[in-house]
Amino acid sequence: MAEICFFGGLVHYKAPSPSSLHYSLFRSKPHHYSLMSASISAECHSSSSTVDPPSLLVFSGGTGFNGVVEELKKITTRVAHVLPVSDDGGSTAEIVRVLGGPAVGDIRSRCLRLSDESTSEALAVRRLLGHRLPIDAHNAKKDWYDIVEGNHSLWDGVSRPYRETIRAFLIYFQNEILRRPNDSFCFANGSIGNFFFAGARIFFQSLDAAIFLFSRVSEIPCDSLVLPVISTNDRLTLGCELQDGTIIRGQNEISHPTNGTIQTVDKRHSSTLPSKIKRVFYMSSEGNNLLHEVFPPVNPTVLEQLKSVDCIVYAMGSLFTSVCPSLVLLGVGEIISSRSCLKVLLLNGSQDRETSGFTASCFVTAIADALNRTHGDPNIRLKNPPGYYINTLLVPKDGDIAVDLKQLSEQGISDVRVVESVRDPKHGVLFNPSSLINTLASLLE
């Protein structure tokens, strides 16, 4: 019998056994959490009579929007972060290869950005779960065993209840690896947060439960939701069809091929695609052509949030591999097109392999095509104009992507605003975080 008990934001863990699981959830401070039917709902209760801050739903990947999350928390924590679970690069790829299941890297990355930083212990937990092992495989394994055995300096500042909770799931992850002797696991450049996530997901047999646990351990604000766009315990593979008919399998191969090497990714300077991307879709794990297309259901909590939020945001980042995988699912386009709320596209500041030669209106077209499922099964196709999905465009000042106002106006988008930017030596032109969030706040007033 395994027991997971939540006491005042902490988790007490006893004798893990994958054959049984019991939850005991207790109210702590003003927070109340419930976990039902593999979905998470969170409510914040306050005696204050002040007006609630605005609520947002953000479609993004694990990197592009991370830089503005801290600023966004200053105006509202009522944000549903919707992320894909099809990333097959980095340490996520090794976890999926050996243990299977969905990719958790983007979710872990966003959870860390949302985690509490108000105490020294919160910072210690964040530092531990954000740690990456050395690139050298031998040193990585040594570092990993020091962490699992509780001897690493990263445990400094982490109290015993948190230490026991986090270590329990890291040990469970290690045991799962050892149970697969035919698949040697490479720890090089591995993320401790990813390992913790994977251990929790396998133990609970639920991605939602793993997110719930991670949220409690890292003390994410109770009204901030981190939602996998597909709630699954299975591996998901992203595919894309190019305009010349070529099929590419795997998010990494579409976005930034690395030839299996561990290296720093520069998506702006990856080799160009032989043809522009026509659409992205989901494939069976072993498939390699259009006959292997699959249609996973969208996470119902995502649809619930879409129906009620004050603002829908399509974040900057990898357009086809970070944003569009959440848009092509049945039900998403239907709800967004029916809403009369603010719908904002945050335009990238630089081109990358996926969008080489794109203008602003090309980004709008790609998003509308994904939501309409224009190039997929004609039986589930929508025919809504772009203005049904986007009504406001925010552009980083001095960005590299041409803003073709005439074409945007023809698409139904007349509210185009330029936002102050910064130039990053690695990522090019980026939104200035405070200017971006201030502009969003003014739109929501």
Model pLDDT, residue 25? 27
Name the CA radius of gyration of the chain, rounded. 21
Angstrom distance (rounded) from CA 237 to CA 239: 7
Q: With DSSP H G I counted as helix, E B as strand and the rest as coil, what are the percentages for the chain, rounded to 5?
A: 35, 20, 45
Domain with 117, as residue range(s), is 89-222
Angstrom distance (rounded) from CA 226 to CA 236: 18
Model pLDDT, residue 21? 34
Angstrom distance (rounded) from CA 20 to CA 4: 11
Total residues found in the chain within this entry: 445
- pLDDT at position 261 over 60: no
Same domain, 238 and 381: yes
Same domain, 77 and 98: no
Residue 290 lies in a domain: yes
Residue 210 lies in a domain: yes
Angstrom distance (rounded) from CA 39 to CA 79: 17
Can you tell me the mean pLDDT for 179-191?
A: 90
Q: What is the pLDDT of residues 49-71, one digit of tens each?
A: 478 899 999 999 988 899 999 99
Note whether 20 and 193 are within 8 A (CB).
Answer: no
Residue 15 lies in a domain: no
* Close Cβ partners of 442 (under 8 Å, ≥ 6 residues apart): none
Note whether 394 and 401 are within 8 A (CB).
Answer: no
Residue 438 lies in a domain: yes
Same domain, 215 and 243: no
* DSSP, residue by residue, 362-383: HHHHHHHHHHHTTTS-GGG---
Q: What's CA 106's distance to the chain center, in Å?
A: 4
3 state DSSP class of 74: coil
Same domain, 233 and 375: yes
Same domain, 125 and 246: no
Same domain, 409 and 436: yes
Same domain, 77 and 163: no
Domain count of the fold of the chain: 2
- pLDDT at position 349 over 80: yes
3 state DSSP class of 69: helix
Angstrom distance (rounded) from CA 390 to CA 59: 13
pTM of the entire structure?
0.87
Q: pLDDT band at 92, cuts 50/70/90?
A: confident
Same domain, 179 and 245: no
Same domain, 281 and 429: yes
